[in-house]
A and B are shown apart, each in its own frame.
Chain A
Amino acid sequence: MSQVLFQQLANSLVDGDPDATFDLTKQALAQGIEPLAIINQGLVPGMNIVGDKFATGEYFLPDLIIAAEGMQRAMQLLEPELSRRQQELSIPGTVVIGTVKGDIHEIGKSLVATMLSANGFKVHDLGVNVPTDKFISAVQDSNADILGLSALLTTTMVEQQKIIQALKEAGLRSKVKIMVGGAPVTRSWAEEIEADGYAEDAMGAVRLAKFLVGGTV
């Protein structure tokens, strides 16, 4: 019985139907299926199929994003159940991410946040136009492994440098890895401001984040 449900859960991710993922997860919990089983036998196999289809060129970025959203919605139901059982998922790391002060461009940062959380990272998305001190306190409060800084404009890109400087002054620089991104950001800029890495796209950001927390690429 639960095998059918697991299959349907996986299919809902592959088909890009987050509402179905949400409903099926609810249904599975109502039937008394353990949250870890729902994750490991339904959701994860579904995400793996999506990942494989992307790797072979059959799937596109929107297919990944919509599957990731389905996954996130399922986790909203599953996380309270896990903590009620005092169970924990092993996560690759915690990420604080946001678009720097003076810049209200959202999509690049949000795509990276979605892809990171679909890959198991715990993501604190601070939104756009985020002042430096808010980044710093979020890094402190969440004990983040990675800080992601996004900027779309050449005029706001400089904020990335200011934030790294402020982290140094707060004595936090060695505690957190910093990834920078956005249209004007280049490898030489990332090196100049002593960020730990930069990526050209959301998938590259996931690979970089995994590398930065010490896993394999």
Chain B
Amino acid sequence: MKFEYLAPEDVLKVHHASLQVLEQVGILLDDPETLALLVDNGARAEGEIVFLPQELVLQCLQSCPNEVTLRGREHEVKLGSHQLYIHNLGGARDILDEPGSMIRPATTPDVAESARLLDALENVDTVTPLYTPRDVPPHMMVLTMFDQTVRNTTKPVNGPGVTTAKEVRILAEMCRVVFGEQPAVSMGASPVSPLNFRGHIAPVMLEIARQNLPFGPLPCPSVGATSPMSLAGSLVQQNAENLASITIAQLARPGLPIVYCGRLSVLNMRNGAPIWGNPEVGMLSAGTVQLGHYYHLPVNVYGLAGSGYAADMQSGYERAMNALVPALAGADELSGVGEMAGGTISSNAQIVVDNDIYGMVKRILRGYAVNEDSLAVDVIAHAMRSSRNFMSEKHTRTYLRAGEIWRGRLGIEEVGWDMWQAAGAPTVMDRANRLAQQILADHIIAPLPDDQLQALDEIMRFANENH
């Protein structure tokens, strides 16, 4: 089940235009070490602008592996194996405790609890630290996010968005404590669009490569503001930002696993606010998937994305469309579980709802078999000769057990309006919130061994004291 949103020749046009941008427009860069690395390998620098020749970019693409493994305590995923994997939003600022309540700043226990909930949900494959806790000082935020998440899930953990090379070093140390000498934990770092790798950005990319951690460059251009208003032009620029990031990483460590990522979004052109729920987000994600696959790299794009502040019908239709389009285009990873209000807010109820949306997406991708058994001529004949219904057919039972009909966690239990009223007329968010509470009451994560917990505590203490 797969469709091509862009024609193959249009993917090629975007590719060539991106190479042209890198060669003729260049990127902004001020880190002397990265600059030296690029210039030694054939790039040309004029002040803080660095021009990347296409031979260099293509050579660096050649050294990227086609598959990327991410490994957790008990589970692993293999990106690039033509299967869709799901992860959640990262770094939300606020939490909505109950449907209809007011938001409040997220704290450390929220990071832990959300990781445990995500661990329990069958359609979430890898876990990203969901909240940026605001009860710790800024230099401890990213480290706390990782620490709390790794303690509360056995699924593969994705690194939080890092901002300094020092954070990368400490996170790599924490990864080795839990996952051994060669941790398969991906790290993301965003260039600032358009084409800006100044400040901490290039050193962070170098450090991720040195630590040999799978790297997901994460450009986030906004159409019409930090990238061109034409969607194709925005794809060109995002691709150029990805290719430049890949070039830096591959020069620092040839063969470093790369996940090709895209986070293109659009703005409300009346006020400049991001509107992630617009259909262009899914369309651009589909194009991003095709570009990454043209380079034989696994691709990670938004997926679930909505615009508004309420978990309402608008959020539902926006996120469903934006998840389905890139999924059908063959995305290897989709994000967004728990996303509310353009990624600034999350809640347990939204996480549970999104688990079901991705359940539906995965069901659509799975398709249905058409073969002698499923065409069921014999079964129809048998039913016609006997009860004239299919409830009593063995065939029904077999297909039911095999999951022919998807069954989500939030299916309507009540039959009829009166029964629903008698149950308190619950909305999907009410039911999701109740289910989240049940899951959290029951779902226990095996604690990390004592020596690992002590080592993590020690690293955190040292990082806090040596800030």
Nearest neighbor of A184 in chain B, beta-carbon distance: B93
Whether A60 sits at the interface, judged by CB under 8 Å, is yes
A27 → chain B closest CB, angstroms = 31
| Contact residue among A57, A104, A158, A184 (Cβ-Cβ distance under 8 Å from B198) | A104
- For B91, the chain A residues whose CB sits under 8 A away are 154
Instruction: Indicate if the CB atoms of A129 and B273 lie closer than 8 Å.
Output: no
Whether A105 sits at the interface, judged by CB under 8 Å, is yes
From 236 to 293 in chain B, residues with beta carbon under 8 angstroms from any chain A beta carbon are: 267, 269-273
Whether A153 sits at the interface, judged by CB under 8 Å, is yes
Instruction: Indicate if the CB atoms of B344 and A183 lie closer than 8 Å.
Output: yes
Instruction: Indicate if the CB atoms of B93 and A104 lie closer than 8 Å.
Output: no
Q: Chain A interface: which size bin?
A: 20 to 34
Tell me the complex Cα distance, A106–B141, Å.
Answer: 23
A163 → chain B closest CB, angstroms = 14
**Count of A-B contacts with CB under 8 A?**
52
Instruction: Indicate if the CB atoms of B192 and A61 lie closer than 8 Å.
Output: no
A106 → chain B closest CB, angstroms = 7
- For B229, the chain A residues whose CB sits under 8 A away are 62
Instruction: Indicate if the CB atoms of A102 and B163 lie closer than 8 Å.
Output: yes
From 145 to 192 in chain A, residues with beta carbon under 8 angstroms from any chain B beta carbon are: 153-156, 158, 183-184, 186
| A60-B269, A62-B224, A203-B271 given; A155·B196 CB < 8 A | no
Instruction: Indicate if the CB atoms of A129 and B142 lie closer than 8 Å.
Output: no
Instruction: Indicate if the CB atoms of A155 and B132 lie closer than 8 Å.
Output: yes
Instruction: Indicate if the CB atoms of B163 and A154 lie closer than 8 Å.
Output: no
- For A203, the chain B residues whose CB sits under 8 A away are 271
Nearest neighbor of A162 in chain B, beta-carbon distance: B138
- For B20, the chain A residues whose CB sits under 8 A away are none
| A104-B196, A154-B91, A155-B142 given; A61·B132 CB < 8 A | no
Whether B199 sits at the interface, judged by CB under 8 Å, is yes
- For A153, the chain B residues whose CB sits under 8 A away are 163
Instruction: Indicate if the CB atoms of B344 and A111 lie closer than 8 Å.
Output: no
Instruction: Indicate if the CB atoms of B163 and A155 lie closer than 8 Å.
Output: yes
Nearest neighbor of A152 in chain B, beta-carbon distance: B192
Nearest neighbor of B132 in chain A, beta-carbon distance: A154
Instruction: Indicate if the CB atoms of A111 and B142 lie closer than 8 Å.
Output: no
Whether B134 sits at the interface, judged by CB under 8 Å, is yes
Instruction: Indicate if the CB atoms of A104 and B271 lie closer than 8 Å.
Output: no
- For A104, the chain B residues whose CB sits under 8 A away are 192, 196, 198-199, 201
Whether B225 sits at the interface, judged by CB under 8 Å, is yes
Tell me the complex Cα distance, A153–B139, Å.
Answer: 12
Whether A213 sits at the interface, judged by CB under 8 Å, is no
Whether B54 sits at the interface, judged by CB under 8 Å, is no
Instruction: Indicate if the CB atoms of A107 and B198 lie closer than 8 Å.
Output: no
Instruction: Indicate if the CB atoms of B199 and A61 lie closer than 8 Å.
Output: no
Tell me the complex Cα distance, A84–B163, Å.
Answer: 48
Instruction: Indicate if the CB atoms of B272 and A61 lie closer than 8 Å.
Output: yes
- For B198, the chain A residues whose CB sits under 8 A away are 104
Tell me the complex Cα distance, A101–B196, Å.
Answer: 17
Instruction: Indicate if the CB atoms of B196 and A107 lie closer than 8 Å.
Output: no
Tell me the complex Cα distance, A183–B94, Å.
Answer: 12
Whether A201 sits at the interface, judged by CB under 8 Å, is yes
Whether A9 sits at the interface, judged by CB under 8 Å, is no
A59 → chain B closest CB, angstroms = 9
Instruction: Indicate if the CB atoms of A154 and B271 lie closer than 8 Å.
Output: no
Instruction: Indicate if the CB atoms of B271 and A156 lie closer than 8 Å.
Output: no
Q: Chain A residues in contact with chain B, CB under 8 A?
A: 57, 60-62, 102, 104-108, 111, 129, 153-156, 158, 183-184, 186, 200-203
Having A61-B270, A203-B271, one finds 10 other A-B pairs with CB under 8 Å, namely A61-B269, A62-B269, A102-B163, A105-B192, A106-B192, A111-B272, A154-B134, A184-B93, A200-B271, A200-B273
